[in-house]
Structure formats: structure tokens, C-alpha cells
């Protein structure tokens, strides 16, 4: 009889511990769900998006935005690679033809104003962007490893969009 009371007492103690910690468990589950499906912090590595984004900045990767609003020209996206990720700007959309000639961007044969690069972009041959693919470039065109070198990016390789700097605090805010 004494053993039964000990077991019942232990069950009550375990239940009390669970109930006492339930708010923490719920918070942890919410954080896991948010990071897995909605948003997660991501760090800028390198200077390929300079001056828009600077090496070492922390941004929010918006996984949901891509699903709800889709991917548009000039969006900043995060691309998964074999060993890390790239942060680039969308220049060309599926089905478009892209080329730079005499420092000017042409999409489907029409000149498009490109306000994001501070340096002249080297000319390159016309590229046709395939279905479910995107042509991306870094804002620092001189050093960027982008679609000019690695080809177009398949939609399945895109982790999400990013446009909010959260650290350092003096750069906190939206980027375009």
C-alpha cells in the first residue's frame, strides 16, 4: 500500500512539473514552428550585396513571403547551395531574356533602369531564363558570384525573401 502511494505521489509530482513548465514548452514549440515555416535569422556573408547589405549584418529570412506574394524583380532572395547560402537580387523572371550591353540592362529587348549597382556591369550575352528559374545578381556586380557565373537559379533552391536588417541596430529597418 505504501508503494502505491509513493507511485501516485511521483505521478502527481511529474504532472505538476509538466504543468509548471507548460508555458515554456509552448513557447519553444512556437519558436520551432516560426523558424521552420515562417521566418528565421540569417547572416550576410561577404560583400556581393554591398552597399545594400554589408558583411556581418543579420537579416530576417521570410519563408512565407515567397509563398504568399511570389518572387518579383528586384526582390532580395536567399538561395541554398551545397555548403551554405547566397543572398542575391532577382533581375530576371521565368521566360524572360536578359542581357547587359554598354552598361545597360535589357529585358526582352527593352532597356530597364537598374538602380542597385554602383559599378558598371560588364556586358554579357543574352540569357533566356527557363520555367521556374530566376536570373540573380549581387548589387556589387564587380565581385558577385551570381547567375552570370553559376547560371539561373531554380525556384526549388530559393529559401525565401529577405528585406529586414535586424543587426546591427544602427542599420535596423527595411531595405529595398
**pLDDT by 10s per residue, the chain, length 176:** 555 655 565 666 667 777 788 888 888 888 888 877 788 899 999 999 999 999 999 999 988 777 777 899 999 999 998 888 999 999 999 999 999 988 889 999 999 888 887 777 888 889 999 999 999 999 998 889 999 999 999 999 999 999 899 999 999 988 88
Strands 76-80 and 85-92: antiparallel
- In the residue annotation, 88 being an active-site residue is answered as yes
* Residue 94 to residue 61: CA distance in whole angstroms: 22
Nearest alpha-carbon partner for 105 in 79, 127, 75: 127
Catalytic residue among 2, 15, 48, 104: 48
Catalytic residue among 63, 88, 147, 161: 88
- In the residue annotation, 117 being an active-site residue is answered as no
* Residue 39 to residue 160: CA distance in whole angstroms: 9
Predicted confidence at residue 6, as pLDDT, reads 59
Predicted confidence at residue 79, as pLDDT, reads 94
Burial class (CB in 10 A: 0-12, 13-18, 19+), 69: exposed
pTM of the model: 0.81
Predicted confidence at residue 54, as pLDDT, reads 93
Contact 139, 52 (CB under 8 A): yes
Grid cell locating 121: 556591369
Amino acid at each position: 500500500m505504501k508503494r502505491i502511494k509513493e507511485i501516485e505521489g511521483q505521478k502527481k509530482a511529474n504532472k505538476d512539473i509538466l504543468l509548471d513548465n507548460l508555458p515554456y514548452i509552448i513557447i519553444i514549440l512556437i519558436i520551432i514552428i516560426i523558424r521552420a515555416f515562417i521566418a528565421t535569422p540569417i547572416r550576410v556573408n561577404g560583400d556581393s550585396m554591398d552597399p545594400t547589405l554589408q558583411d556581418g549584418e543579420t537579416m530576417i529570412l521570410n519563408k512565407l513571403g515567397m509563398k504568399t506574394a511570389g518572387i518579383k524583380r528586384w526582390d532580395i532572395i536567399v538561395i541554398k547551395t551545397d555548403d551554405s547560402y547566397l543572398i542575391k537580387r532577382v533581375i530576371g523572371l521565368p521566360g524572360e531574356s536578359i542581357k547587359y550591353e554598354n552598361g545597360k540592362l535589357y529585358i526582352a529587348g527593352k532597356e530597364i533602369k537598374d538602380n542597385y549597382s554602383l559599378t558598371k556591369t560588364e556586358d554579357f550575352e543574352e540569357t533566356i531564363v527557363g520555367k521556374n528559374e530566376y536570373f540573380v545578381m549581387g548589387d556589387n556586380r564587380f565581385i558577385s558570384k551570381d547567375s552570370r557565373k553559376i547560371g539561373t537559379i531554380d525556384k526549388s533552391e530559393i529559401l525565401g525573401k529577405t528585406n529586414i536588417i535586424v543587426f546591427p541596430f544602427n542599420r535596423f529597418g527595411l531595405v529595398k
